[in-house]
Amino acid sequence: MSNAPTRIEEAMRFACEAHKTQTRKSDGSPYVVHPLMCAHMLTRKGFEDDVIIAALLHDVLEDTGVAKETIRAQFGNHVLEIVEGVTEDKL
């Protein structure tokens, strides 16, 4: 049995790092709590790994300095497509 982290665990770490200095304006809670809760809900409903990973990363493009190429390189095209589909265009 391997001790290597799963892709979901890697995405959790990635999201925690990307949002590490951010807090929610509404209540001051750590920003990453929302993506973690989204991913938890989707896991309980049986969604595939790429959807769960995208849930963890869904605010990364919108609210951090992480480039989409970084997400593509680490998690693949499908995850990036999902993340881009739910990212608010702030232009």
Please report whether residue 2 resides in a domain. Answer: no
**Catalytic residue selected from 62, 69, 84, 89:** 62
Active site residue 63: yes
Active-site option among 10, 49, 63, 84:
63
Residue 91 placed within a domain: no
Give residue-wise pLDDT tens across range 41-60: 999 999 999 999 999 999 99
Q: Does the residue 28 lie in any domain?
A: yes
| CA-based radius of gyration for the chain | 13
Q: Are 69 and 77 in contact (CB under 8 A)?
A: no
Nearest to 85 by CA among 39, 54, 63: 54
Within-domain flag for 48: yes
Q: Which domain holds residue 61?
A: 7-85
Give dist(CA 32, CA 63) in Å, integer: 11
User: Which one-letter DSSP state was computed for residue 3?
Assistant: -
Q: How many domains does the chain have?
A: 1
* pLDDT tens per residue, range 7-52: 999 999 999 999 999 998 889 999 999 999 999 999 999 999 999 9
Domain CATH number, residue 71: 1.10.3210.10
